[in-house]
Structure 1
Amino acid sequence: MDTPAPVYELGGRRFAAGEPGFAEAVAAAHAAHLRPRCLCRAEGIEVYVARCGDGFIVKRMPDTGSRHAPGCVSYEPPAEFSGLGQVLGSAIKEDPHTGTTTLKLDFPLTKIAGRSTVPPSGGDADSVATDGTRLSLRGLLHYLWDQAGLTRWQPGFAGKRSWGTVRRHLLQATENKLASDSPLRARLYVPEVFSVEQREAINARRLALWARAGAAGGKPQALMVLVGEVKEIVPARYGYKAVVKHVPEQGFAIDEQLFRRLERRFAGELSLWGTSDSLRLVMIATFGVSAAGVPSIERASPMLVTEQWLPVENSLEQRLIAELLGQGRKFVKGLRYNLGSSNPLACAVLTDLDQPVGLFLETRTGLDEADSSSRVRAAYGQQAWVWHPDDERMPPLPA
């Protein structure tokens, strides 16, 4: 069953999202600078109206996601245990007055001719070894996935998440987002669903977008941001190339230095992807376009996702998510953003209970186990489910 439409108080009247008169009431609230209230809780929770394209949308106020009811579309788990807490307010700054969100990135969106943007020796290819003041490349992908609602799941979504749906939500997630003082939407390339009949029109739109990242003599080259599903990464005549689904006629060049670093840094993810038919590999990358029209990747970071496009870090998370899907549960998938692998993180948060429950996997990763467990208990108390896969079988999930 799909999530019920949220109900808001606008100008002293109650509206369910999408009902007749709702769009006009939202537009009037925006014009009058009024703050609606989400009625998922009896006391109501203040939200705000932001412009989105030619219309308006209702958005939760910053840092209020965990105050909403678990079943509300505005609910999100406590930020400090999704990885979002480290970057919210510093790398990610929301302004309810203008409706814009400013993103600070720890990687460049321009390239000076003759200079490599690959991190120096010893650095991670995706710049995950960073603090919370700037988003790594992986952090940006996690943020877009969160904003697009692709970390949320309920049984009614089954069979409805195609690449076309994923693409539409990702593009919507970039509305009113600024990166490097320019709209992120203008820099983001998410491949259209390929169609033989529409091939010429699709290619024309792709080339028009890529023209922004073409080589410019004597000037810094603007870089695009790719988010797409990888079909394969194979040797090319010079170096390697990534073949992206829905872009069958054009490979993305990867030089050997970057390929070797990706191979070392993401050996586990690439190995799991290569041996599991039920996992997809999504990649975020910055790329420029040569004078010959060839896209060349500068930095890249992969992310494993299930057939439902739910992110997973390893085979243990894959097992847990499969169990949740099999039981028909509602949940929000946790993402690390810039957090290192030793930090405790809720793999998922169940949202089909009166009180949300965080699901934690605790393995021996070098972090003191007692310290890790105490941090989990401090965050969720009795609202934490913990699985120690090194020592026990998966315990029953909260009913």
Structure 2
Amino acid sequence: MRRLLIGDRSFDEDSVDLQTFLPRAYEQKLRPHCQCREPWVPMYIARMDGQYLVKRMPLSGRDHDPACPSYEPPYELSGLGPLIGNAIQIDANGRTALNLDFSMTKRGPRAAPSAPTEPSEPAIRNETKKLSLRAMLHYLWEMGELTVWRSSWTGKRGWGRVRTSLMNAASQMTARGEELSDVLFVPEVFHQEDKEGIAARRAAALAGAQASRTGPRKLMITVAEVKEFTAAREGHRITLRHLPFPFMIGEGAWKRLIARYESELELWRSNEEFHLIVIATFGISASGVAAVDEVAMMVVNENWIPFESVQERLLLERLAALRRKSVKGLRFNLSRDQPLVSVTLPEQRPSPVAMFIVPAAASEDYERALAEMIEARPEMTPWVWRVSEGEMPKLPS
């Protein structure tokens, strides 16, 4: 259990006094501090669904004691490490400024997308100063704590909770001088009894994507779950869950999309329990048609945890049934020929565990980079599954 210092008062995190005090502390912009170790670790108060929560500052998880619920493994083990201080800059108040590698404007209402899918993976791999669209999706997922799982959460994480987590994460970010939450559109869960209210809120949220008469069109970003892809007279329609209209994509862009995300689409189609998440920049024409400009995708399991392979999905399935916290590592701008931690077990004793899955086709360079990564974090116990050697090794006891 965490003990928190707010102003000159100290609270146990499950105390009634803390819940009573948090609204006032939020209004007064008081900074909570976790007392798990000295010096005390700064945190912040977030308001979500009418509740007040004390959350850790972005990327401060490794500053907490390993026994603290707020502890997270070092971000250097994932694709996030190279981006910190470059593409992602965090100030003393936990606000994050993002440097984007994709356009948020478009000239000409009918212009074809200039780069409708992610760049080639070698280009992604070498870029540390800007966030690709895929890396933006991964960062929102990470900061929304959607990479974290405990068995006690089974059945309690649906799209409504995912949406709240994403929007709360975006509220702490800016991009090109704008609040990210002002340009991010995540569809609400549809409820028939609130149909008109949802439609009104959706129209207000999408106002920024409407075509203007003069000058470049402003684009917005959507994060949503794909329901289906269907052929159109020209190009394809992307139908998203909880939305009454499709997003259009041109034929050339569609071909590049299915080539770039062949693995994700193959995994998604293999199991009805999986979800395909899309992030896209988009605009709405004067006639009201929504069209994507650039797009990236990832596949997540039934608990909304991202994964890249059948082996990763199997590992997540095994861990999901255990009474221990697991944290999924994400690739961000890294290519698939570079190693990263698949999952970490931060509460494992006597030391946290970093779990790696080495693909069957791993090169000598991959193995060398993996060895260097493991050597650089001696405080963590490595667990390695080399797919070429057969079945999954025994999980840490």
The TM-score with structure 2 as length reference comes to 0.90
Moved more, 378-387 or 101-110: 378-387
**What is the 5 A alignment of 1:297-376?**
297-354=292-349, 355-363=351-359, 364-376=361-373
Q: How far is the alpha carbon of 1:156 from its aligned partner?
A: 1.5
| Alignment check: 8 A CA contact 2:96 2:174 kept | yes
Residue 376 of structure 1, CA deviation? 3.5
Q: Give the 3 Å change call, closer, same or farther, for CA 11–51 of structure 1 in structure 2.
A: same
CA distance in 1, matches of 2:119, 2:82: 20
2:230 to 228, 234, 237: 234
Kindly indicate whether the alpha-carbon contact (under 8 Å) linking 1:109 and 1:180 is maintained by their aligned counterparts in 2: no
Q: Per-residue deviation at 1:169?
A: 1.1
* 1:362-382: CA deviation from partner (whole Å, max 9, x where unpaired): 123335354134224313346
Distance 1:308 1:378 in 2: 32
CA distance in 1, matches of 2:27, 2:194: 39
SS in 2 for 1:150: coil
Is this contact kept in 1: 2:122–2:335, CA < 8 A? no
Please say which of residues 20-29 and 288-297 is displaced more in the overlay.
20-29
The 1:61/1:268 distance shift into structure 2, 3 A limit, reads closer
Tell me the distance in 1 between the aligned counterparts of 2:64 and 2:121: 37
Aligned counterparts, 1:1-399, within 5 A: 4=1, 6-17=2-13, 19-22=15-18, 24=21, 36-41=32-37, 43-49=38-44, 58-61=54-57, 64-70=60-66, 72-97=68-93, 99-113=94-108, 115-119=111-115, 123-124=119-120, 128-129=124-125, 131-247=127-243, 249-354=244-349, 355-363=351-359, 364-381=361-378, 383-399=381-397
Aligned-partner Cα distance in 2 for 1:305–1:234: 21
Give 1:19 shift. Answer: 3.4
How far apart, CA to CA, are the structure 1 residues paired with 2:236 and 2:25? Answer: 54
Between stretches 68-77 and 117-126, larger displacement belongs to 117-126
In structure 1, distance between residues paired with 2:335 and 2:3: 38
8 Å CA contact 2:329–2:342 kept in 1: the answer is: yes
Amino acid at match of 1:187: V
Letter in 1 for 2:152: G
Once the 2 structures are TM-superposed, how far is the Cα of residue 195 of structure 1 from its aligned partner? 1.9
Identity level (%): 38
Q: Which letter maps to 1:385?
A: W
- How far off its partner does 1:356 sit? 1.2
After superposition, the Cα gap between the structure-2 partners of 1:34 and 1:227, relative to the gap in structure 1 and judged at 3 Å, is closer
Shift of 1:128: 3.5
Deviation (angstroms), 1:39: 2.1
Return closer, same or farther for 1:86/1:263 CA change in 2, 3 Å cut-off: same
Partners of 1:100 and 1:90 in 2: how far apart?
Answer: 15
Q: For each residue in 1:87-110, what CA deviation from the matched residue of structure 2 results, as whole angstroms up to 9, or x when unmatched?
A: 11111111124x421111100111
1:280 and 1:305 in contact (8 A); partners too: yes
Partner SS state of residue 292, structure 1:
coil
Q: Summarize the Cα distance change of 1:139–1:358 in structure 2 as closer, same or farther, 3 Å threshold.
A: same
Q: Distance in 2 between matches of 1:333 and 1:121?
A: 24
**TM-score relative to the length of structure 1:** 0.89
Q: How many Å separate the matches in 1 of 2:221 and 2:9?
A: 42
**Unmatched 5+ residue regions in structure 2?**
none
Give per-residue Cα distances to partners, 1:175-202, cap 9 Å, x unaligned.
Answer: 1311121111111111111122322322
1:21 CA drift (Å) = 4.3
Higher alpha-carbon deviation: 380-389 or 296-305: 380-389
Q: How many Å separate the matches in 1 of 2:258 and 2:190?
A: 28
- Give the deviation of 1:284 after TM superposition: 0.6
Q: Give the whole-Å Cα distance in 2 for the aligned partners of 1:121 and 1:167.
A: 24
The total of aligned residue pairs comes to 391
Query: How far, CA to CA, are the matches of 2:298 and 2:251 in structure 1?
Result: 21
The Cα of 1:136 is off from its aligned counterpart by 0.7
Question: Which sections of structure 1, spanning at least 5 residues, go unmatched?
Answer: none
Q: CA RMSD in A?
A: 2.8
Q: What is the rounded CA distance, in whole Å, between the counterparts of 2:91 and 2:8 in structure 1?
A: 25
Partner SS, residue 237 of structure 2: strand
Call closer, same or farther: CA 1:126–1:234 in 2, change over 3 Å.
farther
Q: How far 1:334 moved relative to its partner?
A: 0.4
